[in-house]
Amino acid sequence: MLYLRPGQVLNEPDDSGEDISVGDWPALYSALAEQAESKVLREFYAAGLPPASTPISEVPMLALDFETTGMDAEQGDIVSIGLVPMTMARIYNRDSCHWVVRPRAHLPGDSVVIHGITHSDVASSPDLNRYLQPLLSLMAGRVVVAHYRKMERNFLHHAMLQRLGEGIRFPIIDTMTLEAEITRLTFWQRLRGQKAPSLRLAEARKRYHLPFYHPHHAHTDALSCAELLQAQLITHYGPKTPVGDLWR
Amino acid sequence: MQAEQIEILEFLRQHQPLSLLPEDVLRQVAQSVDIAYYKAGTQILDFGTELSDWFLIRSGAVEVYRRNGDLYNRLTQGGFFAEFGLLRNRRARFPVRAMEDTLVYLIPAELFISLFEEHEEFADQVEVEDRTRLRQAVARREDANELMTARIETLLSREPVLLHHTASAREAARQMMEENVSSLLVIDDAADDEETLKGIVTDRDITDRLVAPGLPYETPVTDIMSPEVVAVEYNQLVFEAMLKMLRDNVHHLPVLRKGKPLGVITLTDIIRYESQNSLFVVRSIFSAQSVEELVPLQSDVRACFSRLIAEDANSRMIGSSMAVIGRSFKQRLLELAEEKFGPPPVPYCFLALGSMAREEQLIVTDQDNAMILDDSFEPEKHDEYFYQVAKFVSDGLDACGYKYCTGHIMATNKKWRQPLKVWESYFTEWIEQPTPEFLLNSSIFFDLEGVWGENRWAKRLNKLIRHKAQKNTRFLACMARNALLRTPPLGFFKNFVMEADGDHNKSINMKRRGTAPLADLIRVHALSIGSASHNSFERLQDVIDAKILSPGSGPDLRDALELIAMVRIRHQALDLEAGAEPDNNIEPENLSDFERKNLRDAFLIVSNAQKYLKYRYQPGRSS
């Protein structure tokens, strides 16, 4: 994942694109299972979602992270994908995946510096098309988890649009949004000039005494995010919280 | 494609016991790890919970309880739990609770069990419970490939750089530079094509023996080399090389095989090998500028002792290392004494007696020492000086944890601060007109080593003992009789025969009833064959080679000595760990069944050996 300076996102964590307004995700999935053009997407939507009232402890989830060519989903593309299946109780790291793909957009040098995936790495890797099927089947029936949902949502949407001619819609539990809610300052605190705590992944993890992991590797970042969600759920939400309160 | 598991693999690589696995297996483990997070205060395992994973703590801390609720253990990062249950009925045996927010790596039960079965070292490390951890070192001893038991040849990285003895000093310097080495072996291949080692020359020799005195560059290398080469055999142990360097104060050791040089090892090679061994303690001892600076090193000594045990050192390595450290304290104190009171008016030799001379020193030890003075010694003129030095050393040793000898066998005692000729008459009298009463408390005089000054006098006394004792059956009979006074506690295991004194009336003194009777017994045999060794293991080997024991009983004795010594050592380490003052006592309830059974066997061996000793050296029996 690309890391934003706190100021860029801190104040608007919910500015997350088109799908913030979806009220009933399972219903949208049922509809899209009929409407989607491509077969892989129809099967993905047909797998459905747990009802919004399902306690979070019973919901299968998938932590997801992309490294990308840049910040703009319309101009850029995905370079690597990290996937880690999980529940509230356990992170199924043994079933996790990490794929490097060849972006259809230019890979600028400054992003290479961040994620360490070089031009020759991507040159010898397949196009995302190769992994669409396994990606969608891992996502099917699971609720996606990411830190700063806008990146993962927009990049996947545009990557699909470019390859299948249609985009994808799915709810995301955003650990950054959760952390913003958890650490939100009261009116009085803000009035007294207290600084809002950092929402960056590494900083958020520290608050739960999670160990330091080296950032900017899609699998490690997905794993970091998965551990953070477990810690957040256990510490602040509890197993009975309906998944509908958490996904957007 | 499976993910690389960079972070997990890195963590596993850094923590035993998983780090003991081969890299490919480790990768497989990293691929199989699942993860779970527990908030501080939550229960991770209840008694009887079905187990599907082995738990490895990635971060945080947990408390392990006994079933009755007593705290059993605390574990932090790198700690592991649930193996006990996994290896039995797959149900949690010890409840576990998160003390802090804790992240655990979960390793599937099947994988854990296959690792345990297929990788011996891993299994040994995992071995359940601290008791079992106690057990393993005795069983593993010499075959362990840990660093202290590694062979010297494993340190050799290149062929030796050889120089012909006709070369000049300048050629030596040039060759050192070209080969990028700090020492050369000087050889002579004239005699029947065999290379014979004539000496060793180091970069230090170039500066100290050539440049400093201003000799010409064309000086023959033989003029600046050290002709008396201190060398080691390729199959000796690394720790022996280390001890040799310390004793002889050399930094380069040629390694030989059948007299032929294989390479050279340097102090740096060894230090690189073991970064925190006794060498470092020794170094801080010698850099201490006063007694006040020596005293705090006691804790480093104890740490070194614990570390050796953690590294599965055997009793011999521990005994030698502690003796080297003890000797260094004496030597530094003597240096400080000579700074304070001036140079000695006549030459002298400071002696170590007993366990230090046998290289069997542990951390709970008395100071047993003495002084040999030059025969030109005049009490009225010189004794004040030597008394002051002896007192300075003795007080210093006491402050550093080497308690005053209760039997007053110390150089502060005038009787044990005498000229060489008096010492010679002492030993002659003890051996030729022995009385059991005297010898009773004097057996440690027969374990004697010079640590400072005219050490050749100590060698001379040892030689005298060797020659006289061997021939004197009455002396041997007296020594044998005394060696039988302390018996192994055979009844210990049935009705718990324990020392009746004070604090430890529910315990057994492993020194008095274990290692001391064995050392006594071995000493008698060693004296009877004129062995020049001091260490009990070495003496025993000499005795075995002399074939005076029945076949098989020698090795049995060796195993018994190792086991008893290790139990004693380990209980001292446990005392240290528990923050208690270590002693020689063990409490039966702290023994595992395994130790108890083996100790019983060991004591039985000692008891039988005592019977044989009694028979062999009975007065009037000529052998």
Contact B595, B136 (CB under 8 A): no
pLDDT at residue B298, as a whole number = 87
Q: How far apart are CA A225 and CA A233, in angstroms?
A: 12
Is the distance from CB of B393 to CB of B368 less than 8 angstroms?
A: no
Q: ipTM, 2 decimals?
A: 0.84
Q: Which tokens belong to A226?
A: 């998965």
Top-confidence residue, B259 or B374:
B374
Nearest to A214 among B7, B32, B35 (CB): B7
Q: What pLDDT band is residue B117 in, cutting at 50, 70 and 90?
A: confident
For residue A215, the chain B residue with the least C-alpha distance is B7
Residues B152-273: name the CATH superfamily. Answer: CBS-domain (3.10.580.10)
Q: Choose the weakest-confidence range: A33-42, A189-198, B259-268, B459-468.
A: A189-198
Q: Do B6 and A214 touch (CB under 8 A)?
A: yes
| Chain-chain contact of B3 with A97 (C-beta, under 8 angstroms) | yes
Inform me whether the pLDDT recorded for B155 exceeds 90.
no
**A169: its two tokens:** 């819609």
Angle between helix axes B379-399 and B315-341 (nearest 10 degrees) is 130
Task: Kindly state the average pLDDT of the residues B390-419.
Answer: 92
| B49 at A interface, C-beta within 8 A | no
B275-313 residues labelled b (16+ CB within 10 A) or e (exposed): eebbbebbebbeebeebeebeebbebbbebbbbbbebbb
Look at B3 and A96 and tell me if their CB atoms are within 8 Å: yes
Topology annotation, domain B293-430+444-462:
Beta Polymerase; domain 2 (3.30.460)
Contact B181, B200 (CB under 8 A): no
- Predicted pLDDT at B2: 60
Number of other residues whose CB lies within 10 A of the CB of residue B208: 12
Pair of tokens at residue B478: 């007296």
Q: Do A89 and B36 touch (CB under 8 A)?
A: yes
3-state secondary structure of B69: coil
The bridge status of strand B585-586 relative to strand B508-509 is antiparallel
pLDDT of residue A21: 61
Residue B526: Cβ-neighbour burial (10 angstroms; 0-12, 13-18, 19+): buried
Please compute the mean of the pLDDT values over residues B70-86 and round it to a whole number: 80
User: Which among A98, A219, A227 has CB closest to B35?
Assistant: A227
User: What is the pLDDT at residue A228?
Assistant: 97
Closest to A94 (Cβ–Cβ): which among B32, B37, B60? Answer: B32
Task: Extract the tokens encoding B398.
Answer: 């006491």
- Quickly list DSSP for B10-35: HHHHHSTTGGGS-HHHHHHHHHH-EE
A212/chain B closest Cα distance in angstroms: 9
B383 interface with A at CB cutoff 8 Å:
no
Q: Is B61 on the interface with A (CB under 8 A)?
A: no
Q: Which residues contact B446 (CB under 8 A, 6 or more apart)?
A: B465, B469, B479, B523, B527
In a mutagenesis test of the A interface, which of B7, B9, B37, B53 is the best target, namely the one with the most A β-carbons within 10 Å?
B37
Pairing, β B53-59 against β B43-45 = unpaired
Q: Could you tell me the pLDDT band of residue A47, with boundaries at 50, 70 and 90?
A: very high
Percent of chain B with pLDDT over 70: 88
Q: Can you tell me the distance from the alpha carbon of A41 to that of A133, in angstroms, rounded to the nearest whole number?
A: 9
Q: Is any Cβ of chain B less than 8 angstroms from the Cβ of A135?
A: no
B75 Cβ neighbours under 8 A, 6+ residues apart? B57, B61, B62, B63, B64, B81
3-state secondary structure of B301: helix
Of B623 and B304, the structure prediction assigns the larger pLDDT to B304
The answer to whether the CB atoms of A209 and B101 lie below 8 A apart is yes
Closest C-alpha to B130, from B73, B92, B69: B73
Of the ranges A58-67, A110-119, B200-209, which is most confident?
Answer: A58-67
Over residues B184-194, the pLDDT tens digits come to 999 887 655 56
**Residues of B with Cβ-Cβ distance to A227 under 8 angstroms:** 35, 37, 103
pLDDT at A45 over 90: yes
- Give, to the nearest 10 degrees, the angle between helix B109-118 and helix B23-32: 160
Phi, psi of B56, rounded to the nearest 5 degrees: -125, 125
pLDDT tens, position by position, B336-381:
999 999 999 999 999 999 999 998 888 878 889 999 999 999 999 9
Is the pLDDT higher at B578 or at B350?
Answer: B350
Separation in Å, CA B269 to CA B155, B173, B259, B265, B308 = 7, 22, 22, 6, 19
% of chain A at pLDDT higher than 70? 92
Q: How confident is the model at residue B272 (pLDDT cuts 50, 70, 90)?
A: low
Q: Is A184 on the interface with B (CB under 8 A)?
A: no
Provide the shortest C-alpha distance from residue A225 to chain B (in Å).
12
Please give, rounded to a whole number of angstroms, the shortest distance from the CA of A81 to a CA of chain B.
10
User: Would you say residue B148 has pLDDT above 60?
Assistant: no
Across residues B308-329, what is the average pLDDT?
Answer: 83
Three-state SS at B197: strand
User: In a mutagenesis test of the A interface, which of B12, B35, B57, B106 is the best target, namely the one with the most A β-carbons within 10 Å?
Assistant: B35
Instruction: Kindly report the nearest CA distance between residue A139 and chain B, in angstroms.
Output: 16
For B483-527, how does the pLDDT look when each residue is reduced to its tens digit (9 = 90+)?
888 888 876 655 444 444 444 456 788 888 889 999 999 999 999
Tell whether B32 is within 8 A of chain A (Cβ): yes
Look at residue B70 in the predicted model and tell me its pLDDT: 66
Answer yes or no: are the C-beta atoms of B506 and B513 closer than 8 Å: no
Shortest CA distance from B59: residue in chain A = A211
According to the model, what pLDDT value does residue B132 have? 41
pLDDT at residue B149 in the model: 58
Strands, sheet with B162-164, edge to edge from the N-terminal-most edge strand: B162-164, B183-188, B196-202
Average pLDDT rounded to a whole number, residues A70-77: 88
Is the pLDDT at B276 greater than 90? The verdict is no
Q: Which CATH architecture has domain A19-245?
A: 2-Layer Sandwich (3.30)
Q: Could you tell me if A236 lies within 8 Å of chain B, comparing CB atoms?
A: no
Cβ neighbours of B104 in A, within 8 Å: none
Which position has the higher pLDDT, B37 or B144? B37
Phi-psi region of B481 (alpha: psi -120 to 50; beta: other; left: phi over 0): alpha
The answer to whether A102 and A125 are in contact (CB under 8 A) is yes
Q: State whether residue A57 sits within 8 Å of chain B by CB.
A: no
Model pLDDT, residue B237: 78
Identity at B449, one-letter amino acid code: E
Residue B95 φ/ψ, nearest 5 degrees? -60, 145
Section B293-306 average pLDDT: 86
Range A64-79 burial, b when 16+ CB lie within 10 A, else e: bbbbbbbeebeebbbb
Beta-bridge partner residues of B417: B371
CB contact under 8 A, B34 and A94: yes
- Both tokens assigned to A86: 């999980």
Q: What is the pLDDT of residue A223?
A: 96
Question: What mean pLDDT do residues B562-582 have?
Answer: 86
Diameter of chain A measured on Cα atoms: 56
Helix (H/G/I), strand (E/B), else coil: B584: coil
Q: What is the mean pLDDT of chain A?
A: 87
For residues B232 and B241, the answer to whether their CB atoms sit within 8 Å is: yes
Q: Which pLDDT score, from 0 to 100, does residue A3 have?
A: 47
Output the six-digit token pair for B8. Answer: 């997990």
Question: What's the pLDDT at B145?
Answer: 36
What are the boundaries of each domain within chain B?
A: 6-126, 152-273, 293-430+444-462, 479-616
Residue B134 has pLDDT above 60, yes or no: no
pLDDT of A161 strictly over 70 = yes
What are the tens digits of pLDDT across the range A105-140? Answer: 888 888 887 888 888 888 889 999 999 999 999 999
pLDDT of residue B143: 34
Q: For testing the chain B interface, which of A92, A133, A209 should be mutated: the one with the most B CBs within 10 Å? A: A209
* Residue B262: per-residue pLDDT: 87
pLDDT value at residue B172: 94
Which CATH architecture fits B6-126? Sandwich (2.60)
> What's the mean pLDDT in A37-65?
95
Asked whether the CA dihedral B141, B144, B145, B151 is positive or negative, the reply is: positive
- The single-letter DSSP state of residue B502 is G
Secondary element (H or E) of residue B232: strand B232-233
Q: How confident is the model at residue B436 (pLDDT cuts 50, 70, 90)?
A: confident
DSSP string for residues in chain A: -PPPPHHHHTT-TT---GGGG-S-HHHHHHHHHHH-SSHHHHHHHHT----TTSBGGG--EEEEEEEESSS-TTT--EEEEEEEEE-SS-B-GGG-EEEE---SS---HHHHHHH---HHHHHTS--THHHHHHHHHHHTTSEEEESSHHHHHHHHHHHHHHHHSS-----EEEHHHHHHHHTPPPHHHHHTTPPPPP-SHHHHHHHTTPPP--SS-HHHHHHHHHHHHHHHIIIII-TT-BGGGTB-
A92–chain B Cβ distance below 8 A for any pair: yes
pLDDT for residue B191: 59
- pLDDT in the model for residue B585: 85
**Both tokens assigned to A43:** 């099967």
Q: Which is more confident, B142 or B367? A: B367
A91 interfacial to chain B (CB closer than 8 Å)? yes
| Residues 318-377 (B) with a CB less than 8 A from some CB of A | none
pLDDT of B275 strictly over 60: no
pLDDT at residue B415 greater than cutoff 80: yes
pLDDT score, position A5: 41
CA A45 – CA A31 distance, rounded (Å): 8
Whether residue B108 and residue A94 make contact (CB cut-off 8 A), yes or no, is yes
Query: Who among B3, B32, B60 is closest to A209 (CB)?
Result: B60
Q: How far is B79 from chain A (nearest CA, A)?
A: 15
Distance CA(B128)–CA(B597), nearest Å, equals: 19
Q: How far is CA B212 from CA A56, B206, B215, in A?
A: 81, 8, 8
B59:A217 CB<8 A? no
pLDDT for residue B384: 94
Chain A contact set for B99 (CB, 8 A): none
In Å, how far is A75's CA from the nearest CA of chain B?
Answer: 27
* Residue B351 near residue B451 (C-beta atoms within 8 A): yes
pLDDT at position B604: 86
* Of A89, A209, A219, Cβ closest to residue B100: A209
Residue B167 has pLDDT above 70, yes or no: yes
Check CB contact under 8 Å for B59 and A209.
yes
Q: Which of A48-52, B151-155, B314-318 has the highest mean predicted lDDT (pLDDT)?
A: A48-52
Which strands form B260-266's sheet, in the order they lie side by side?
B232-233, B252-257, B260-266
* Distance (Å, whole) CA B157 – CA B270: 12
Whether the pLDDT of residue B449 is over 60: the answer is yes
Torsion of CA B427, B429, B434, B436, to 10 degrees: -70
Given an 8 Å threshold on Cβ–Cβ distance, is B8 in contact with A93? yes
Using CA atoms, how far apart are residues B253 and B529, in angstroms rounded to an integer? 32
